[in-house]
Structure 1
């Protein structure tokens, strides 16, 4: 894969989708109850100060979203309504084919107290109280709307369209998004396509991608510009009869290097821990902590 710089993570809350009826709303209290299909073995990440022991520590600020499009859940996001960016998005990779869809940017109605479980097209001229809007990114060449769950990793056309929600993006340095980060996403996709085949032969990998907010770098006085982005994946390879995992992270600036370094999960955990509070992306699973996929061959890009 490619080389990444330092990444820091905000304290997350907990992915608990317990108390809200899933037939009524997809902004929930606990991911584990209603959206655990997007988490490896249904296990939530451990994010210091935000998501600890399966509990969202500040449920008024951090909202777990079962990202729903056309009445079907597509992936899950933990969203920071104060910074108006996601803490992370988690998804199951099943292969991804087809072209990038039109940039029809959506918003999460329930964050604005609207009773609609499906994401919907946002008003291009509206400023939203609890999330970013299209107007926040207008006429800005320095920063892209950087996907955490990239459309290239989505299984079909509807899944790809679902990634175009503003609750799944952060202000990402344009050259970083289109350069080394994009190459990393392509490399990871290639590895998962080739090696992440379960016992039934079906492609299946689990990915969590997040952003570390800055202390005072704000886009249009509303949207936090993260200092870094990070990503990790894990899967079982039936052909190799072993679990595979790797991680990447980098500063949210125009990159100095063409590629990001591939790191171990343990290295990511050390990078994102907060004082004595541990960060763990796939806690309690069989994902290897001390090895990477750098020795595996793939035809898309170098790893």
Structure 2
């Protein structure tokens, strides 16, 4: 039986199966209309262009699939994690971090080291970076879902102040938006894709430090009688206290930010999601605890970053 391992002193086995699958479509239940993002040079029209490098993982815990990750075994970080938001209850669990032995195979291990993925020791005693979830624990539905996010295949090196500052505020804000507006027939349901753009530096000369993190969500809102969507991205650098919020952008703006000259990036291919509007209009209606940008915050500031 294939199993996760807790990366602890004795490496005890956790009774759960995680699937490294052959195609993103094998775990499409976490994608809107079962359609994967289009990532230039990596994943286009549902096809992984370099199948020996980019590995799709059906992240499974307790014999149940929880979310999807496309993992880059060369950079040792995920390209993206995709999940369905169904609400969130309970506290953040205190559990060890997990790894994915299936990424290694029986012939790729040497001296107890992992060739194709980051391990917990890569993140110990960081000076500037810590473990940044792509599928955040605060967006996970129940205890088992929350535990499933603690796999290092769902993690990137993220600047500490960015992770606990503007990025965390964005996660809490969008959570509140989905809680209130992504409801149909009494059920909460929103689709989220969060990814990382590789940078030029490495953590401990091994794990790529992303230059940019990005996130997008889309859902149908019975309350608004329409589909709603927004996107965010930010440079993975330590920031000042004045830069407390990320600008809320449209899907089209995210597409322009991450597209290349030869290929278009799309978080949600298809016609359901609005590409030219955001949910910023809802922020004044949400509670202060949601940590959304205050009234008058300028969402039109455009960041310029390197492309894929």
- What range describes the TM-score normalised by the shorter chain of this pair? 0.7 to 0.9
1:163 corresponding residue in structure 2: 149
1:250 corresponding residue in structure 2: 234
1:225 corresponding residue in structure 2: 209
What is the alpha-carbon distance in structure 2 between the residues aligned to residue 97 and residue 127 of structure 1?
36
1:77 aligned to 2:69? yes
Residue by residue over 1:175-224, the C-alpha shift from the partner in whole angstroms, topping out at 9 and shown as x without a partner, is: 000011000000000000000012x2200000000000013x01111100
What is the alpha-carbon distance in structure 1 between the residues aligned to residue 261 and residue 44 of structure 2?
14
1:15 corresponding residue in structure 2: none
Query: Which residue among 83, 86, 107 is the counterpart of 1:91?
Result: 83
1:301 corresponding residue in structure 2: 291
2:301 corresponding residue in structure 1: none
1:28 aligned to 2:21? yes
What is the alpha-carbon distance in structure 1 between the residues aligned to residue 33 and residue 286 of structure 2?
27
Q: What's the C-alpha RMSD, in Å, of the aligned pairs?
A: 1.4
1:153 aligned to 2:139? yes
Gaps in structure 1 of 5+ consecutive residues: 1-23, 115-124
In structure 2, the CA distance between the partners of 1:154 and 1:275, relative to structure 1 (3 Å rule), is: same
Residue by residue over 1:91-110, the C-alpha shift from the partner in whole angstroms, topping out at 9 and shown as x without a partner, is: 00000111101141001121
Contact 2:18 2:61 in 1 (8 A): no
Higher relative contact order (CA 8 A, sep 6+): 1
1:129 corresponding residue in structure 2: 115
1:237 aligned to 2:221? yes
In structure 2, the CA distance between the partners of 1:25 and 1:187, relative to structure 1 (3 Å rule), is: closer
| TM-score relative to the length of structure 2 | 0.84
What is the alpha-carbon distance in structure 2 between the residues aligned to residue 253 and residue 68 of structure 1?
31
Query: Which residue among 193, 199, 202 is the counterpart of 1:214?
Result: 199
Gaps in structure 2 of 5+ consecutive residues: 1-16, 294-308
Quote the offset at 1:31 in angstroms: 1.8
